[in-house]
Amino acid sequence: MSGEDAESLLLSVMEAIGNVIRHAAGKARDFSITVERARDIAVVEVLDHGPGFTLHPRPMPDVHAENGRGVPLMQRLCDSVEYSTSVEGNRLVLKKRLRTRAGR
């Protein structure tokens, strides 16, 4: 995995977990993370039990805004951002195509 891909995934995961911690309360803050890699794609799944949200394409907020960058960053840095809710909880799936270290 290239350093750039690793940094993109790390920042996206940090934003996802930060959102769980910031927007959930009490036991809703419990979450799990699953990371898988299959050849040229990394898949990160975050499962939580918070209030949830509606995922839609979001522009990056004003440079002086104090919040609102998490979802736009994930959408910019990952190839796919999927979100669903069910009785098991909220499921955020981030997918990133990986380049080789040589940038191919």
pLDDT tens-place string over residues 61-90? 888 877 788 899 999 999 999 999 998 889
pLDDT tens-digit profile, the chain (104 residues): 889 999 999 999 999 998 888 887 776 678 999 999 988 999 999 999 888 888 888 888 888 877 788 899 999 999 999 999 998 889 999 999 998 765 44
Burial grade of 50 (CB within 10 A; 0-12, 13-18, 19 or more): buried
pTM for the model: 0.84
* Domain range summary for the chain, segments of one domain joined by +: 3-97
Q: What is the CATH superfamily name and number for domain 3-97?
A: Histidine kinase-like ATPase, C-terminal domain (3.30.565.10)
Phi, psi of 72 (to 5 degrees): -60, -35
